[in-house]
Amino acid sequence: MNKNLIIPQERILNRIVVIRDEKVMLDVHLAELYEVETRTLKQAVRRNLDLFPEDFMFELTEPEIEIVVSQNVIPTKQHLGGAKPFAFTETGVAMLSSVLKSKRAKEMNVAIMRTFVALRKLALGYAEIMGELEEIRNRVVGHDDQINLIFEYLKQFEQSKKQSIEHQKREKIGFKIKKRSE
């Protein structure tokens, strides 16, 4: 493998964004990674639109473009050259390897697919952790009431003990027999 083909996974990971509740990569970022012009990538996709249903690829709307600009996914709208970007899901990125025939595109697809898999594994680990935290939270939910009840019993016990001590200290009333001295 050529040295300039080695792309750090973080660089790919930084290009994956969430739009419409989907993890996607924008055409400008894919073109950069594949070392082709964005218009070339889009042209190849348009020639094969039947291979890219909406769950593989979609065109961003104006509000979505504003969001990706405001989140610094792309520097400015001018960076797009006036065209609306395509967003490719994981399956759409995989499909790109069938329409982009260069060796670079195929190698980059492998790297990108590995990154998506790593991201999915990370998400599964996160979901597992969140599930365990939820389980702990559910176990602890009733503890506040139980702890308050324990404190209430302790207060009652303390009051009872104080009353008992006060009862023992108080002077007894009633008839007292004095002992005679002989």
128-166 pLDDT, tens per residue?
777 777 887 777 776 777 778 888 888 888 888 888 888
Q: Which of 16-20, 28-32, 69-73 has the lowest mean pLDDT?
A: 69-73
Nearest to 59 by CA among 30, 94, 24, 100: 24
Domain count, the chain: 2
The reply to whether 77 and 116 lie within a common domain is yes
Please, what is the average pLDDT of the chain?
80
Examine residue 145 and state whether it is found in any structural domain, yes or no.
yes
Element (H, E) at 101: none
Distance CA 38, CA 91 (A): 19
Span of 37-41, 70-74, 111-115, 133-137 with lowest mean pLDDT: 70-74
Q: Look at residue 2 in the predicted model and tell me its pLDDT.
A: 44
Residues 50 and 82 in one domain: yes
- How far is 126 from 132, CA to CA, in rounded Å? 10
Evaluate whether residue 142 is within a structural domain: yes
The whole-angstrom separation of Cα 27 and Cα 5 is 19
Least confident of 35-39, 86-90, 94-98: 94-98
* Mean pLDDT in residue range 74-86: 72
Q: Is the pLDDT of residue 170 over 70?
A: yes
25: helix, strand or coil: strand
Say if residue 87 is in the same domain as residue 8: yes
Nearest to 52 by CA among 87, 25, 26: 87
Task: Kindly report which listed range (27-36, 50-59, 157-166) carries the lowest average pLDDT score.
Answer: 157-166
**Is residue 5's pLDDT more than 70?**
no
In this structure, the answer to whether residues 123 and 154 fall within a common structural domain is no
Q: What is the mean pLDDT of residues 69-73?
A: 74
Q: pLDDT value at position 153?
A: 83
Where is mean pLDDT largest: 72-86, 101-115, 142-156, 164-178?
Answer: 142-156
149: domain range? 133-165
The confidence score (pLDDT) of residue 57 equals 94
Is there a domain that residue 171 lies in?
no
Question: Does residue 8 carry a pLDDT above 90?
Answer: no
